[in-house]
Amino acid sequence: MEIKVVKDILGANEQIAQKNRQLFDSNHVLAVNLMSSPGAGKTSLILETIKRLKGKTRVGVVEGDISSSLDAEAIGKEGVPVVQINTGGECHLDANMTSTALGSVPLKDVDLLLIENVGNLVCPAEFALGEHKKILISSTPEGDDKPFKYPLMFHEADVVLINKIDLLPYLKFNTDAFSRAIKGINQKVEIFPISCTTGEGIEKWVSWLLTQMSRRQS
C-alpha cells in the first residue's frame, strides 16, 4: 500500500509537470531546473548568467527556498522578472508549486526561465517540474565523493557544473576522479568546471544555454 501511495504522488506530479512543459513550449521558453546542495552556488550562477546574457536573450527566474526572499531580492536588482516560492518546510519544489508560480511569470516576455530549486541532493531529483533541462551544481568544498552518495541526482542531470574551482589549490578534490565517477553513472552528461567568483568557465556554460535555445527554435 505504501508503494502505491508513492506512485500516486509522483504520477500526479508528472501530470502537472507535463502541463507546465506545454506552457513553456507554447511560449517558446527554455526552462532549466537548477539543483544543488545548500551553498553550492545556485544564486551566484544565476546572477553571473543574467549578466552575460543581457542584450542576448530575455531571462526570468523562479526562486525556490524553504523561507525568506533574500536570493530573489538580489536577483531582482538585475532587472529581470523573478518570482519567489517559499515551500514552508518542503525540501524540494514540485510541479504544482511551479505551476502556481508561473501565473506570476510574464512568459511571453521570457526566452529562458531559470528555476532555482531548494538546496538538497535527494528529493529534487525525483520531482519533475516540467523543465527541459536539469542542471546540477556541485562545488569543490563538498568533496569529490558526491556521485557515490547521491547517484540519482547525477544520473538525472543533463549538465554538472563543478563550481568553486578557484578553491582547488586549497582542497583535496580530484577533478578527474570526480568526472569519471559522474560519467560512470551518466555517460551523456556534460561537465563544465566553473568559478562564479573569478568567472572562469562561465562563458562555456552560457554558450551551452544559448545552443540549447537555438536548437529549440530551429
- Domain with 109 in it: what CATH number? 3.40.50.300
Strand partners, 133: 32
Query: In sequence order, which residues have a C-beta less than 8 Å from that of residue 158 and are 6 or more positions away?
Result: 133, 134, 135, 188, 189, 190
- Could you give the dihedral angle defined by the CA atoms of residues 118, 217, 186 and 10, in that order, rounded to the nearest 10 degrees? 50
pLDDT for res 5:
60
Domain count for the chain: 1
Q: How far apart are CA 49 and CA 116, in angstroms?
A: 13
What average pLDDT is seen over the chain?
A: 94
For residue 206, give its domain range. 2-217
Residue-level pLDDT, tens digit, the chain, 218 residues: 456 665 677 889 999 999 999 999 999 999 999 999 999 999 999 999 999 999 999 999 999 998 888 899 999 999 999 999 998 878 999 999 999 999 999 999 999 999 999 999 999 999 999 999 999 999 999 999 999 999 999 999 999 999 999 999 999 999 999 999 999 999 999 999 999 999 999 999 999 999 999 987 76
Q: How far apart are CA 84 and CA 117, in angstroms?
A: 11
If phi over 0 gives left and psi between -120 and 50 gives alpha, with beta otherwise, what is residue 12? alpha
Q: Report the 3 state secondary structure along 25-78.
A: HHCCCEEEEEEECCCCCHHHHHHHHHHHHCCCCCEEEEEEECCCCHHHHHHHCC
